[in-house]
Amino acid sequence: MRIIGGFARGRKLAEFEGSAIRPTADRIREALFSILFSRMGSPEGFQVLDLFAGTGALGIEALSRGAQKATFVERSPRAQTLIRENLRRCGLDSRAHLLAADVSAILPRLDEKYDLIFLDPPYHKELLPPALEIIARRELAAPNATVCAETQKDETLAGQFGSLCRFRTAIYGDTALHLFAVTPGNS
């Protein structure tokens, strides 16, 4: 696993051993950032929230491409160690903040607005709907934000959570990327 674009391009990331954790594959991250770039332009100056961060690859990719700051939320101590190592490898420690917490516990306490929000929870655990509901209710997504939720392609996910409305689903192998945007006045 490596960083695909930006100034840290080509840097190899530390990974989990075994198959218990499923990081977003390089080719899927590349496709996702292509979609995001065509929709939002460069992430330069963005505030990023990476939930269920795992190795931190999605948030680190955004930082490498110019995001101003990324907040990573991960409860696993092993994953937290990997995120710190990957940030160090890419020279991005100073632009990152790691919250060692469960997503459902920390989301209600966040009060920033984020331009880009990634959610990549373990598959088939029903963790996405409550997280997306909280993001919408707490208005954590900035007005022009994109929220990207990753599922296995056979999982169903509603098309709307409060003001967050899905505008695209892209399938890559067994992975589905669901992209949401804020629709004002829609709740």
Q: pLDDT, tens digit, for every residue of 55-73?
A: 999 999 999 999 999 999 9
Note whether residue 65 is domain-resident: yes
Note whether residue 18 is domain-resident: no
Q: Name the residue with higher pLDDT: 184 or 54.
A: 54
pLDDT surpassing 60 at residue 77: yes
Per-residue pLDDT tens over the stretch 107-123: 999 999 999 999 999 98
Quick one: average pLDDT of 136-157? 96
> How does the average pLDDT of the chain come out, rounded?
91
Note whether residue 8 is domain-resident: no
Q: How many domains does the chain have?
A: 1
Q: Give me the CATH number covering residue 59.
A: 3.40.50.150
Note whether residue 59 is domain-resident: yes
Per-residue pLDDT tens over the stretch 86-115: 999 999 999 999 999 999 999 999 999 999
Quick one: average pLDDT of 26-32? 88
Q: What confidence category does residue 23 fall into, taking pLDDT thresholds of 50, 70 and 90? A: low
Taking alpha carbons only, the member of 120, 123, 21 closest to residue 76 is: 21
What's the pLDDT at 185? 65
Q: pLDDT above 70 covers what percent of the chain?
A: 94
Note whether residue 17 is domain-resident: no
β-sheet with 164-172: strand ranges across: 96-100, 69-74, 47-51, 114-119, 141-152, 175-182, 164-172, 160-161
- What pTM was computed for the model? 0.92
Note whether residue 103 is domain-resident: yes
Collapsing DSSP states into helix, strand and coil, what is residue 117? Answer: strand
- Give bridge partners of residue 151 from the DSSP assignment: 176
Q: Which residue range is the domain that position 120 belongs to? A: 27-182
Per-residue pLDDT tens over the stretch 122-140: 988 999 999 999 999 999 9
Note whether residue 84 is domain-resident: yes
